[in-house]
Amino acid sequence: MASTEARLMASTASVPLVEYGLLVLGFILAFVLAFSVGANDVANSFGRAMGSGVVTLKQACILASIFETVGLVGAKVSETIRKGLIDVTMYNSSQELLMAGSVSAMFGSAVWQ
C-alpha cells in the first residue's frame, strides 16, 4: 500500500501546474457545453409534446435524461470521439499541445452555443 502511494505521489509531483489548470478549465467548459447542447436538444425534442400537454415537464425531463444518456453511450458516438476526430499519435511528444487544442475547441463550441 505504501509503495502505491509513493508511486502516485511521485507521478503527480512531476506534472506541471499548467496542465492541472487546463484540466480543470476543460472540465468546466465540458460541463457548460454539455448543458447548453443538451438544453437545445431537449427543447427541440420535447417542445411540441409539452406544448400539446401530452407529457408534463417532469416526465419530459426524465425521458430526456434517459434518452440523452443512451444516445451518448451509443457505439458510433464513442467510436467517433475515440478514433474519428483527430490523430492523437501526432501528439505523443507534446500532450500539453493536445490538451490546449481540446480546451480551445470546447471553448469555441461553448461560446457558439
Q: What is the pLDDT of residues 89-111, one digit of tens each?
A: 777 777 788 788 888 888 888 88
Evaluate whether residue 13 is within a structural domain: no
- Picking from 40, 20, 6, the residue whose alpha carbon sits closest to that of residue 96 is 20
Evaluate whether residue 70 is within a structural domain: yes
Evaluate whether residue 11 is within a structural domain: no
Segments forming the whole domain that contains residue 75: 20-112
Contacts of 50 (CB under 8 A, 6+ apart): 56, 57, 60
Evaluate whether residue 41 is within a structural domain: yes
Give the cell for residue 36: 447548453
pLDDT for 53 equals 92
Integer Cα distance of 112 and 48 in angstroms = 25
> Do 45 and 62 form a contact (C-beta atoms < 8 A)?
no
Residue 5 has pLDDT above 60, yes or no: yes
Q: Which residue has the higher pLDDT, 79 or 61?
A: 61
Evaluate whether residue 67 is within a structural domain: yes
Evaluate whether residue 12 is within a structural domain: no
Q: What is the pTM assigned to this prediction?
A: 0.58
Report residue 16: phi and psi, to 5°: -65, 155
Evaluate whether residue 68 is within a structural domain: yes
Mean pLDDT of the chain: 78
Instruction: Report how far Cα 2 is from the mean position of its chain's Cα atoms.
Output: 34
Q: Which residue has the higher pLDDT, 38 or 14?
A: 38
Structural domain count of the chain: 1
